[in-house]
Amino acid sequence: MSGGENTDRASAKAQAGATGTADVETGHDYDGIREFDNPLPRWWLMTFYGTVIFAIGYWFYYHTAATGDSQMTTYQKEIIAAQKEEDQKLQALEAQGKGVNEEQLLALSKDAAAVARGAAVFKQNCLACHGDRGQGVVGPNLTDRYFLHGAKAKDAYQVIGNGVLDKGMPAWRTILGAAKVQDVTAFVLELRGKNLPGKPAEGVAEDEAARAKP
């Protein structure tokens, strides 16, 4: 194998001549395969160190100090801005008396997508007081057909949006925005009549409520 070794040496020398660096052997020899200790090219190392320094800067800017908005924050800000815009439109419509009406709310309560969105809102915000299925805890049972604040869809929408602050029901319009209040109203309307066992009925029965509030 000495001939092979000679040609190896020769080609290594030729390479060294080409790159201007001399090959340094580590002295490790694995069944005739020798290990060289060649330094990485300077440009490569500088690029590598550069990425490390960039990563540290990036980490501090976006995560530790959180000076810059992460992708998630940017996304959330955009969503919030879009929601605000949507709410302003809805509120402007409501101010002109062109807001959601009874029929629209009832239609929404039959729209599976709206009810599903409303269910998610309910799960996040309402279940502590109204129970996981609307059966009532400190807040009334929403699955019966007895009402404290009226039996109409619009009544529910108003109560949810404006709250009953002295009784502990928060006003959700400012917290959730008009669009989510519509969705959660759709979900609440859909709960009605399920009559789940929970908090005993409060308020007046549906027909009486309709008479009281024509």
Quick count: other Cβ atoms within 10 Å of Cβ 74? Answer: 11
For ligand HEC, which residue of 45, 53, 164, 212 counts as binding (CB under 6 A)? 164
d(CA 151, CA 212): 10
Taking contact as CB under 6 A, which single stretch among the options 12-20, 64-72, 92-100, 153-161 is the one that binds ligand HEC?
A: 153-161
Query: Which helix H or strand E contains 28, and what residues bound it?
Result: strand 25-30
Residues in region 5-64 near ligand HEC by CB under 6 A: none
Does residue 128 interact with ligand HEC by CB under 6 A? Answer: yes
Does residue 188 interact with ligand HEC by CB under 6 A? Answer: yes
Does residue 92 interact with ligand HEC by CB under 6 A? Answer: no
Q: How many CA atoms lie within 13 A of 165 on its CB side?
A: 5
For ligand HEC, which residue of 108, 126, 178, 191 counts as binding (CB under 6 A)? 126
Quick count: other Cβ atoms within 10 Å of Cβ 47? Answer: 10
Does residue 162 interact with ligand HEC by CB under 6 A? Answer: no
d(CA 130, CA 184): 13
d(CA 45, CA 53): 12
DSSP for 100-162 reads --HHHHHHHTT-HHHHHHHHHHHHHHTHHHH-TTS--SSSPPSSSSEESS-SSHHHHHHHHHH
d(CA 81, CA 155): 28
Of 99 and 203, the one with the shorter C-beta distance to ligand HEC is 203
Does residue 123 interact with ligand HEC by CB under 6 A? Answer: no
Does residue 157 interact with ligand HEC by CB under 6 A? Answer: no
Query: In 3-state terms, what secondary structure has residue 35?
Result: strand
Of 67 and 124, the one with the shorter C-beta distance to ligand HEC is 124
For ligand HEC, which residue of 148, 171, 179, 210 counts as binding (CB under 6 A)? 148
Does residue 129 interact with ligand HEC by CB under 6 A? Answer: yes
Does residue 153 interact with ligand HEC by CB under 6 A? Answer: no
**Chain residues that interact with ligand HEC, rule: CB under 6 A:** 122, 125-126, 128-130, 138-140, 142, 147-149, 156, 159-160, 164, 167-170, 172, 184, 188, 203
